[in-house]
């Protein structure tokens, strides 16, 4: 096994990773793959505590959140334990936890392996973040600029550029746009049809990805949306007396995922020296919802999956994602 060495000063010509082994699974990636750090953008699915430091309507730094986290401590993660941001970093051997960039206890050394800019309640639609006072996606990009400035002052420009260029960037957003902003905000549902709002979200996502690329990102994964009509809150609100999955939500999600996938293919042709890939988890999560005994309990609250679900998602999908991004 060749471990990822992000904490030590190594020659830039040395490849950092060829093979990663964990107790749960072995992830094999192309021999020339280099992953210097992980950077996370998006919403509550991946937020590791940035909202703790905001005046916002969306927080989870109180019990019972974090019940199964280290020491049973609520940290601002919308789960009983870890979230995908942590699990990706852990699985790749970079860090056990991916720190929130706004954490006042963040140390300069923590910058080296990457950080998290995601904010619970954020979305590709600017109105989504505005409604709950989350960090807009545009502001998350500004925080990334601040990160790069701090990193350069700490490790120097050459190494900082290397870390940024060879980082793995993961974006997870869009759920709040559909569930909260479109279906529950009169401004949007009367202004847009399902198809036109989906197109608006994909255009917004594309603009975000192009800006991220312009700031130095070269390997970018965008998470697909899960079957939002099957989350407990929407089954209660829109699933009828039997609380079935709300098909209108799921059809919109499938349309978004399909159009996003097409846009990523277009961007791969338009952005030089970059690779973007969809991390498609829709089918996996749908199977979990339909067969909960097969996987254990699925949801932690009315909106967010439990840590167990995230672990399965990362374990089953990471290998293919790395091949898509680095082959």
Identify the burial level of 312 via C-beta atoms within 10 angstroms of its C-beta, where 0-12 means exposed, 13-18 middle and 19 or more buried: buried
**Known catalytic membership, residue 304:** yes
**Known catalytic membership, residue 177:** no
Question: DSSP secondary-structure letter at 266?
Answer: H
- Angstrom CA distances, 153 to 70, 215, 259, 314, stand at 32, 17, 40, 33
44, 129, 172, 224: the catalytic one is: 44
How many angstroms separate the CA atoms of 112 and 37, rounded?
Answer: 7
68, 110, 161, 301: the catalytic one is: 301
Alpha helices in the chain (DSSP H): 84-91, 126-132, 137-155, 157-165, 175-176, 183-184, 186-189, 194-214, 232-238, 247-270, 282-290, 292-295, 307-326
Angle (deg, nearest 10), helices 282-290 and 247-270 = 160
Residue with tokens 């999908």: 317
- For residue 305, the cross-strand partners are 299
Burial 130-165 (b: 16+ CB within 10 A, else e): ebbebbbbeebbebbeebbebbbeebeeebbbbbbe
How many angstroms separate the CA atoms of 97 and 76, rounded?
Answer: 13
- Known catalytic residues are 44, 301, 304
């Amino acid at each position: 096994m060749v471990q990822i060495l992000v904490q030590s000063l190594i020659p830039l010509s040395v490849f950092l990773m060829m093979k990663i082994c964990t107790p749960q699974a072995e992830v094999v990636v192309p021999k020339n793959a280099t992953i210097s750090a992980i950077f996370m953008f998006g919403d509550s699915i991946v937020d590791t505590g940035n909202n703790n430091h905001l005046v916002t309507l969306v927080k989870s730094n109180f019990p019972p959140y974090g019940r199964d986290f280290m020491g049973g401590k609520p940290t601002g993660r919308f789960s009983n334990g870890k979230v995908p941001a942590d699990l990706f970093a852990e699985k790749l051997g970079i860090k056990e936890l991916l720190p929130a960039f706004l954490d006042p206890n963040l140390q300069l050394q923590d910058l080296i392996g990457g950080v998290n800019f995601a904010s619970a309640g954020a979305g590709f639609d600017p109105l989504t973040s505005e409604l709950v006072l989350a960090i807009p996606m545009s502001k998350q990009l500004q925080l990334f600029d601040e990160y790069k400035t701090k990193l350069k002052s700490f490790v120097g420009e050459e190494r900082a550029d290397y870390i940024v260029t060879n980082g793995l960037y993961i974006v997870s957003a869009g759920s709040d746009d559909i569930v909260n902003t479109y279906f529950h905000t009169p401004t949007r549902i009367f202004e847009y049809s399902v198809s036109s709002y989906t197109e608006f979200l994909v255009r917004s996502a594309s603009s975000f990805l192009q800006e991220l690329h312009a700031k130095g990102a070269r390997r970018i994964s965008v998470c697909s949306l899960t079957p939002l009509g099957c989350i407990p809150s929407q089954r209660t609100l829109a699933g009828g007396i039997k609380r079935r999955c709300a098909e209108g939500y799921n059809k919109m999600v499938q349309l978004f995922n399909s159009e996003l996938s097409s846009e990523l293919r277009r961007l791969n042709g338009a952005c030089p020296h970059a690779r973007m890939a969809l991390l498609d988890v829709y089918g996996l999560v749908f199977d979990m919802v339909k067969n909960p005994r097969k996987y254990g309990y699925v949801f932690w609250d009315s909106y967010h999956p439990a840590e167990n679900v995230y672990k399965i998602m990362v374990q089953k999908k990471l290998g293919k994602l790395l091949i898509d991004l680095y082959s």
